[in-house]
Amino acid sequence: MTDAGLRYGRASLGLSFGIQGVAFALLVTRIPAIQDQYGISDGLLPVFLAAVPILAGAGSVATEKVVARVRPGVVLRWAQPLVLLALLGVGAGREVWHVAVALGVFGLAVGALDASMNMLGVSLQRAYGRSIMLGFHAAYSLGGIAGASLAWVGARWDLSLFVSYLPVVVVLLPAALAGSRWYTEGKGPAEEAGSGGGGAGGGLSFKLLLPLCLVMTFAYIGDSTVSNWSAKYLQDVLGSSEQLATVPYNVYMVTTLLGRAVGDLGVRRFGAVAVVRGGSLLAAGGFAVVALAPGAWVGMLGFTMLGFGLCVIVPQTFAAAGRMFPENSDAAVARLNIFNYVGFLIGSPLVGALGDAWSYRGAMLVPMGLVLVTLVYARAFGPDPARYGGGHERARTADVG
């Protein structure tokens, strides 16, 4: 693989992450409008919302099997347009079954998309020989901010979902297809000749992968807590105005972008273990500040800390899986990706149930404790996972320095 090929591959994959950030934000930030358009009851809405991550998990499982036969880039090339078309389908329908089908396709395609994007990211990081995964996820955060802004414009101008989504899909779909020409894996000729697909070769022990699966789950429980409860918490518990209550999630997204934009430099300077430990401590401190905050502005400080802390954990978890199973990184990433959706499914109901049964301040201490568990498994993020994993095959190339 030439240096130019790696640069083009890195840029095209960054574009893919950004496009996915836009698409996902446009869906989740317009959920009230989707509910109104289709007349979905409050009781039925959680079923639709839960179906998307469940089907995404199924899509990730299927991707593990598919990449044993075709390259992850092929999966990504077709999954991303399908996500965008499914998003447009969500806006175009009129009957409940229309949105059910569109969300089903969206969920399955997102699972394949997330898995294949991160497979390519791990592979490119290995080829670069240094940390670049956080940069890809920074592109996703940037796309999420852009998508949320576009959704705000659509809501502000009272545009229909279809009118809001159509221009975005018209622009991003050709861009995704054009960018897919340069998708590449960071494999040398010998590696490519030695495996028919990205998932071939080498053994994959779920026992060794389990610590990273737990870290992924706990990180997404923390993320979904902020996404689903920050506005309600600030308004109902800390007594903010309705307008101010919308700010914490925006601040969280911006700090996530900033943290990821500089995170790769931190990994290269201090190593992945130190960065993950620091991020975990900062995130736990953020939850503690939120739980103990006497007012809205202190609560905002806590959510800011959460953005800077949580943002480094997920990208480094994918990278660690690639180091732990260098001969089978695609399969490891696909399995690990499932726990992204597990955390998303658990987080919001967990905090809601604890808040109703106990208190919302107390509920914030639970994701704090779960994030701190990451410290127990921090060694799994090191450049030599063989020592952590009990003699597993030593990674041939360290991607931190």
The per-residue pLDDT for range 72-95, each reduced to its tens digit, is: 999 999 999 999 999 999 999 999
pLDDT tops 70 at residue 36 = yes
The per-residue pLDDT for range 5-33, each reduced to its tens digit, is: 899 999 999 999 999 999 999 998 899 89
Angle of CA points 205, 210, 211, to nearest 5°: 130
Neighbours of 288 (CB within 10 A): 15
The per-residue pLDDT for range 152-210, each reduced to its tens digit, is: 899 889 999 999 999 999 999 999 999 999 999 876 443 444 343 443 334 688 889 99
Q: Tell which residue, 259, 254, 14, 261, has the closest CA to residue 144.
A: 254
Determine the pLDDT at residue 129.
92
pLDDT tops 50 at residue 232 = yes
Determine the pLDDT at residue 306.
96
Under 8 Å between Cβ of 238 and 295: yes
Determine the pLDDT at residue 1.
67
pLDDT tops 70 at residue 262 = yes
Determine the pLDDT at residue 138.
97
Please state, in angstroms and rounded to a whole number, the distance separating the CA atoms of residues 101 and 49.
13
Determine the pLDDT at residue 388.
54
Q: Tell which residue, 264, 401, 392, 381, has the closest CA to residue 328.
A: 392
Instruction: State the alpha helices, DSSP H only, in 196-312.
Output: 206-232, 242-245, 247-270, 272-292, 296-310
Q: Binning pLDDT at 50, 70 and 90, where does residue 395 land?
A: very low
DSSP letters spanning 11-52: HHHHHHHHHHHHHHHHHHTTHHHHHHHHT--TTTHHHHHHHH
Q: Is the dihedral of CA 48, 53, 59, 62 positive or negative?
A: negative
Determine the pLDDT at residue 80.
98
Torsion of CA 137, 142, 146, 148, to 10 degrees: 60
Please state, in angstroms and rounded to a whole number, the distance separating the CA atoms of residues 339 and 145.
24
DSSP-derived letter for residue 180 is G
Determine the pLDDT at residue 3.
85
pLDDT tops 70 at residue 312 = yes
The whole-number average pLDDT for the span 51-67 is: 96
Determine the pLDDT at residue 134.
97
Torsion of CA 114, 120, 123, 129, to 10 degrees: -100
The whole-number average pLDDT for the span 222-243 is: 90
Neighbours of 152 (CB within 10 A): 14
The whole-number average pLDDT for the span 252-278 is: 96
Residue in the structure block whose two tokens are 């911006």? 254
Residue in the structure block whose two tokens are 């000749």? 193
The whole-number average pLDDT for the span 347-371 is: 94
Please state, in angstroms and rounded to a whole number, the distance separating the CA atoms of residues 375 and 176.
38
Q: Which residues contact 189 (CB under 8 A, 6 or more apart)?
A: none
The whole-number average pLDDT for the span 241-270 is: 91
Taking each helix axis from N to C end, the angle separating 247-270 and 272-292, rounded to the nearest 10 degrees, works out to 150
